[in-house]
Structure formats: structure tokens, C-alpha cells
Amino acid sequence: MKIAADDPSSTAPGAAPIRPIVIAANRLPVMRDNTTENGWAPSPGGLVRALLPMLRSSGGTWVGWTGTPDDPTEPFTVDGVDCYPIDISAKEVELYYEGFSNDGLWPLYHDALRESTYDIAQWEAYQRVNERFAITLANIAPPNAIVWIHDYQLQLVPAMLRQQRPDITIGFFLHIPFPPYELFSRLPWRNEIIDGLLGCDLIGFQRPKGATNFAACASQLRKSDIGENVIHNAGHRTELGVFPISIDFAEVEEMAAGRATRKLTSQIRTRLGDPEVILLGVDRLDYTKGIGLRLRAFGALLESGELDPERCVMVQVATPTREAVEHYQDERREIERLVGEINGRFSRIGLPVIHYLYQTLSYDDLIALYRAGDVMLVTPFRDGMNLVAKEYAAAHIDGDGVLVLSEFAGAADELTDAVLVNPHDDRALQESIVTAVEMHRHERRARMAGLREQVKRMDVQGWADRFYAALARAAENQ
């Protein structure tokens, strides 16, 4: 089954939906903010920025959790968008979110980099929360609405919703990879997940391999009839498509060009000792991101003399995430051990060779860091897309800078002007870092021009418009 990425020219950017649209995601698009009049402010992130204008233009709705356990908040409206909170108890956060979603599905969908936990209580909580989403969607979706469901936490919702509301069109977008049959078949509730997703009219994936993996699982487990870009199962037609998500290029570029960003970028270089080369890593602190791998590679290059600690420094930002999950606690301890070990050997007084930040930075600070970074290291073992790579390119309005990018990030399909590397190969990663550091200015600028053009051409608004257009076509084909 061959599935290509959707044609970016297949729909006009910014096209407003004709039918009412409802978004469902684990989290609402807003977070609590006591400084605003209504107590809510839009959440940061490209997904929210891409979808809110579409919802406003269609009188749309967003269903999700507030992020606070045991929070029975009533529906409310923010900036023209109706928000319907789903109440999730503290115990369900432990079982459904931290447990089944992030200690079961997440490692399995990322090449089983860690052992998954398969626990019946976690599965039952996952079912309950998915059913709560489905019931809410069934109750609030207008007749003949489009419902667009997001990500691995809600994979049972499509079929549950289909049973209650056969009149609506259902789309689903998976933001993370979908594993091959050999891995997915380990999941005790594999059939239920496939059945849940086959309730959709359209399922979107980041990469073609995710779509082909899903089709293979549907064929093996449910004996579904697989056609070109389509699955027929139990009398229902589910189309598959590839829609690599992106960023708001214009917004990042505008921020990077601002006077405050330029000033902060200059201050960052000064605080780092004005080094010749700044190597940069920006990640959630997650074992899939390969942070320890790149730290070891950097340390090995300092040890061999291929990198000079008086010439090069590294900045690693690790954003806290899922701190209650044991795998993430272990990963944090290992990263901090490596930072201490390398700094102890190669730093000078007042000038550490690695600057490590375990904190959440503002978007303004991140854009300034991107501009300051001469070499961006994005080395995940597996990643659905990785928007940091795209943000780095968009922020480099000076046309300089080098991106070292893992072949196993979805972004590698598009950002072919990066220095692509297999992060599992220690020596190849070290050589890629040296290549990036030593690259001639003319080559750096040519590669960055290619990266920026690609990200600009395939921005996040276009992604949302293309998915919506494909979902509308899938409804017509049903």
C-alpha cells in the first residue's frame, strides 16, 4: 500500500469550513490565566494557532480536559470558540493519561524504546475517558457536523461516536508514529484500538510509513479489505492520508526579526562567553528525544580533540514533562549525570562547556535561542514530526546555521537540506556534528535557504486546510 503526502496545492489556504466543526483533543486550547477578564488565555503551540481561526469562522467548538484533575468546569467561550471541558479525576489522570497513554502506548508507538506497561485497570480508565469524550461529542455536535479528533489518547472515540451519531463526518490525526504490526501486536487491546480508529472517515498520519503500518495492522488483525489509500471494514470506508504538520512560519519569522529578540540573542552569546560555535538542543525531557546520545557524542568529540571546548559550547534545554512517570525520572537523572561529568572534565572557571536548563522557556526566549544557535541538534530515536527543527529554520532570518537531524524524525522527509544522521550510530552522529561545526559558510547558507523555503511553503495553516479538505472529500466518498 503506497501512500504519498498530500499535495500542498490541493486546497486554498485559509479556506473556511462550510459545515460546523468540532475539535476533540486531550487538552483544551486554553489554559487558566487570572490576568485575563474571563480567566483563560490561548495555549501556546502550533496546533492551537492553526485551528482556532477555523473554529471561529465556522462557529466551532473544542472538547478537551482543562489540565486540572477533578475540575468540573462548565462550558465557556473564549475568543469566539466554545469550549466543553471533560472532567477527569486524579485517579483517571494516573491510569488513563500517565498510565495507559504514556506508559503503555507512548513507548510502544516509539519503537518500544522502553518496556510498556499493560495493566487492565489502566485500560479500563482509558475506555471510560474515551467514552466520556464520545458522549460529549455526540451531545453537542450539530447535525452533519465534522468532528476532528487528535492523537493517541483518544483512539477509541471515533467508533464510539460513530455508533451514536452516524450523521457526522469523523477525522482523526495521529501526531506520533504508528508502529509496525510486529510491535503493535504486543498490545493486549490491539483489536479494540484498530476498531476504534476504523470508525473514522479519514485518518491522518505524519509519514507514509505510519499509514502503511496501520493498514497492515487492520489487514492482519481485522481482515479488512485494503485498497489504495482506503480501508473497507464492516461496511464502512476509512481513507488514509499523510499530512506532515508544521509551524506558523510567518509568526516565527516576525518574532525573530523583532528588536527584543535581536537584543536577547546578543545577550545570550555574551553570557555564554561569546564562543565561536554554539551547539543547541531544545527538547521535552523524553527518552525518545536522544538527549543523552548527543551529550555523549559531544563529550566524545571534546575527549578526542575534534571539538575545542574553548571554541564550542553546548546549550541543552530540557522541558519538564510527565514527571510522575518513572521512565522520565530515570531519564532526567541520567542526563544530569552526563552534564555534570562532561562539565567537570572540560569546563573552565566561569565557563561551563554545557549549559543545561531543566525548565520551560517562553516562546520569546526560545526564538532568541534559535537565533543564537549556530548548530541545532535534533536527534530523536523516533519522532512523529519534531517542530523544533522547523522553528529553528524559520527563526534563522540571517540565512545561516546548520541543522543536524535524525533520519527517524518525521521532519527528515521534508528537511532534506539538513545534515541527516542515524542517531543509533555513535560515530556517524559525532561525524555529523563535526561536519556541521566545520561547514563552509557558502554551504551553510545554501542549506538554510532550502530549509526555510520548505517550511515556508508547508506551514501549519496549510496543514489544517489540507486535512479539512481531504476530510470533506472523504465524506463525499462515503
Rg of the chain taking only CA atoms, in angstroms: 23
What is the residue-wise DSSP string for 169-231? EEEEE--S----HHHHTT-TTHHHHHHHHTT-SEEEESSHHHHHHHHHHHHHHH-PEEETTEE
Phi-psi sector, 157: left (phi>0), alpha (psi -120 to 50), beta: alpha
**In 309-438, at which residue ranges do the beta strands (DSSP E only) sit?**
312-319, 354-357, 375-378, 402-406, 419-421
**In 276-429, at which residue ranges do the beta strands (DSSP E only) sit?**
277-284, 312-319, 354-357, 375-378, 402-406, 419-421
Give the separation between CA 49 and CA 126, rounded to whole angstroms: 28
Alpha helix stretches (DSSP H) within 42-180: 46-58, 90-92, 106-109, 120-140, 157-164
Give the separation between CA 406 and CA 411, rounded to whole angstroms: 9
Q: Which of 79, 87, 175, 232 is catalytic?
A: 175
Catalytic annotation present for 383? yes
Give the separation between CA 172 and CA 194, rounded to whole angstroms: 13
Task: Give the closest residue to 263 by CA, choosing from 174, 114, 368, 183.
Answer: 368
Q: Which of 6, 383, 417, 465 is catalytic?
A: 383
Residues with Cβ within 8 Å of residue 317, at least 6 apart in sequence: 280, 281, 282, 283, 357, 359, 361, 366, 369
Please state the φ and ψ torsions of residue 333, each to the nearest 5 degrees.
Answer: -60, -40
Residues with Cβ within 8 Å of residue 356, at least 6 apart in sequence: 316, 318, 335, 336, 339
Cell of 394: 524559520
Catalytic annotation present for 396? no
407, 378 in Cβ contact below 8 A? no
State the sign of the Cα–Cα–Cα–Cα dihedral 110, 116, 118, 123.
negative
Q: Which residues are catalytic?
A: 175, 383
